[in-house]
C-alpha cells in the first residue's frame, strides 16, 4: 500500500505494475459497495470532486460523479458549453475559480494533449486526467484491465487486439501501456493510415488484417471510428472501413468461444461493431461501464481518502 503516494493521476506512463495492481485489488472493495441496497459509504465526506470537461462525455463524467457520490464526496461540475469559457475566460482562470470554491480533486478532460499536466502545475488540488487529446485516458485503461482481469483471472499471457483508429486514440495509448505492463501481448489492428507514425518503443505488434488475427485472440478491443477521419482522408469511406475492420456476426464467429469483446463507448453500431455483436454473450461492453464507477471510486479514495500521509503524523496508540 505504499507505492502510490497521494498525487495526481495523469497517465499510465510512469505508473508501475504494482501501482496498477494495487488499484485493481482495491476496486473489488468498491465494487461490493455498488451492490449494497444503499450503495454509499461516508469515506470522503466533506471532500469536493470537481469535473472539468472541456470536451463532451457521457460515461466518463457520469461515472466520476457517481463514484464521488457513492463515497459521499460533494461534486461540482463544469462544462465548456455552459460556462464563461465562451465569453473568453481562460482555462487557467477557470481552474483558479474552481479551486477557490474548495475543490480537492479536479477531473479534467480537454481536447489538447497535456492539459491535465498543465493544470496540475497550476493548482494545489489533485488532478485526474479523464482524457487529454490523443495522449492518455488512464482511468479507462484501469477499468479495462479490471474488466479483463475479472473475466479472465489475470491479464498475464492474454493476446489482445486493439482495432481501429489507434493513431488518434488516447484509450489505445493508455491500454497498450497498462495491458502490456500486466503481462498481456497486444496487437494493433488498423489500416496503415490509422496507426501512429512511429511505434518505436511500444511493446506491440501490428497487423492490417483483422480476419487473420481474430481466431488467435483472447480479447478483441474495438475503438470508436470518428466520422471526421473520413473528412481528413485517412480512410476512403465508412463502407470500406466497415468491410475491412467492422466486427460483424460473420467475423465474430471466427473469434474463439471464450474470447471477450470490448469497446470504450460510445459505440457506432453498424460501423466498428454490428449491433448483434455488441449484445453477443462474449461482449463485456456494459461491464466496462459499470466497472468504471468502481475503478473511479478506488482512484478517488486512493487520492483523497487513504491518507497515507496522515498515518505518520497521527498516533494510532489506544485506537481500536
Partner 1 sequence: MVEKERVQTPPKGGVFVAHARVLDAEDIKRAIQRMAHEIVERNHGLDNVVLIGLQTGGVMVAEMLTEALSKISGTSPPQGTLDVALHRDDIGMRPVMPEAVTDISVDLDGATIVIADDVLFTGRTIRAALDALCDFGRPKEIQLAVMVDRGHRELPIRPDYVGKNLPTRISEIVDVSPEGVDLGTVKK
Could you say whether residue 112 binds partner 1 (CB under 8 A)? Answer: no
**One residue of 33, 62, 80, 97 binding partner 1 per CB under 8 A:** 33
Cell for 317?
496508540
Residue found under cell 494495487: 22
From residue 185 to residue 214, what is the string marking binding to partner 1 with x (rule CB under 8 A)?
------------------------------
What's the CA gap between 157 and 284, in Å, rounded? 19
At its nearest, how many Å lie between partner 1 and the CB of residue 186? 26
SS3 per residue for 60-122: HHHHHHHHHHHCCCEEEEEEHHHCHHHHCCCHHHHHHHHHHCCCCEEEEEECCCCHHHHHHHH
At its nearest, how many Å lie between partner 1 and the CB of residue 303? 12
Q: Answer for the pair 52, 80: CB distance below 8 angstroms, yes or no.
A: no
Q: Closer to partner 1 by CB, 43 or 106: give it.
A: 43
What's the CA gap between 5 and 270, in Å, rounded? 44
- Supply the angle between the helices 91-100 and 115-122 in degrees, to the nearest 10: 50
From residue 288 to residue 317, what is the string marking binding to partner 1 with x (rule CB under 8 A)?
-------------x---xxx--xxx-x-xx
Residue found under cell 510512469: 14
From residue 48 to residue 87, what is the string marking binding to partner 1 with x (rule CB under 8 A)?
-----------------------x----------------
List, as one string, the DSSP characters of 274-287. -HHHHTSTTB-HHH
Strand pairing report for 159-163 and 126-132? unpaired
Q: Closer to partner 1 by CB, 100 or 316: give it.
A: 316
Total count of residues recorded for the chain = 320
From residue 1 to residue 30, what is the string marking binding to partner 1 with x (rule CB under 8 A)?
xx----------------------xx-xx-
**One residue of 19, 41, 199, 206 binding partner 1 per CB under 8 A:** 41
At its nearest, how many Å lie between partner 1 and the CB of residue 317? 7
Number of residues that bind partner 1 (CB under 8 A): 29
Q: Closer to partner 1 by CB, 116 or 145: give it.
A: 145
Query: Secondary structure of the chain: what % helix, strand, coil (to 5)?
Result: 45, 15, 40
At its nearest, how many Å lie between partner 1 and the CB of residue 10? 23
List 188's β-bridge partners, or say none.
Answer: 162, 206
At its nearest, how many Å lie between partner 1 and the CB of residue 316? 6
Residue 164 backbone zone (phi > 0: left; psi -120 to 50: alpha; other: beta): left
At its nearest, how many Å lie between partner 1 and the CB of residue 6? 10
**One residue of 5, 42, 88, 233 binding partner 1 per CB under 8 A:** 42
Binding site for partner 1 (CB under 8 A): 1-2, 25-26, 28-29, 32-33, 36-38, 40-43, 71, 301, 305-307, 310-312, 314, 316-320
Amino acid at each position: 500500500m505504499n507505492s502510490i503516494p497521494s498525487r495526481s493521476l495523469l497517465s499510465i506512463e510512469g505508473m508501475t505494475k504494482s501501482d496498477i495492481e494495487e488499484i485493481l485489488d482495491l476496486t473489488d472493495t468498491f465494487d461490493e459497495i455498488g451492490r449494497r441496497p444503499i450503495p454509499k459509504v461516508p469515506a470522503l465526506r466533506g471532500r469536493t470532486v470537481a469535473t472539468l470537461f472541456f470536451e463532451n462525455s457521457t460515461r466518463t463524467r457520469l461515472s466520476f460523479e457517481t463514484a464521488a457520490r457513492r463515497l459521499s464526496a460533494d461534486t461540482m461540475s463544469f462544462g465548456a458549453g455552459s460556462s464563461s469559457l465562451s465569453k473568453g475566460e481562460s482555462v487557467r482562470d477557470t481552474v483558479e475559480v474552481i479551486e477557490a470554491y474548495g475543490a480537492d480533486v479536479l477531473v479534467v478532460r480537454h481536447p489538447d494533449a497535456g492539459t491535465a499536466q498543465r493544470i496540475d502545475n497550476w493548482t494545489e488540488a489533485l488532478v485526474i486526467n479523464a482524457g487529454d487529446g490523443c495522449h492518455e485516458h488512464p482511468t479507462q485503461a484501469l477499468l479495462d484491465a479490471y474488466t479483463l482481469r475479472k473475466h479472465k483471472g489475470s491479464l498475464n499471457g492474454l493476446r489482445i487486439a486493439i482495432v481501429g483508429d489507434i493513431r488518434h486514440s488516447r484509450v489505445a495509448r493508455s491500454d497498450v501501456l497498462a495491458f502490456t505492463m500486466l503481462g498481456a501481448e497486444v496487437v494493433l489492428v488498423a489500416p496503415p493510415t490509422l496507426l501512429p507514425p512511429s511505434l518505436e518503443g511500444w511493446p506491440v505488434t501490428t497487423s492490417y488484417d483483422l480476419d487473420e488475427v481474430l481466431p488467435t485472440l483472447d480479447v478483441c478491443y474495438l475503438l470508436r471510428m470518428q466520422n471526421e477521419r473520413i473528412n481528413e482522408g485517412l480512410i476512403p469511406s465508412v463502407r470500406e472501413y466497415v468491410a475491412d475492420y467492422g466486427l460483424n456476426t460473420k467475423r465474430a464467429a471466427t473469434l474463439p468461444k471464450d474470447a471477450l469483446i470490448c469497446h470504450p463507448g460510445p459505440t457506432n453500431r453498424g460501423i466498428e461493431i454490428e449491433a448483434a455483436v455488441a449484445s453477443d454473450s462474449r461482449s463485456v461492453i456494459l461491464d466496462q461501464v459499470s466497472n468504471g464507477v468502481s475503478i473511479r471510486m478506488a482512484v478517488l479514495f486512493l487520492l483523497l481518502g487513504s491518507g497515507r500521509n496522515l498515518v505518520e503524523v497521527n498516533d494510532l496508540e489506544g485506537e481500536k
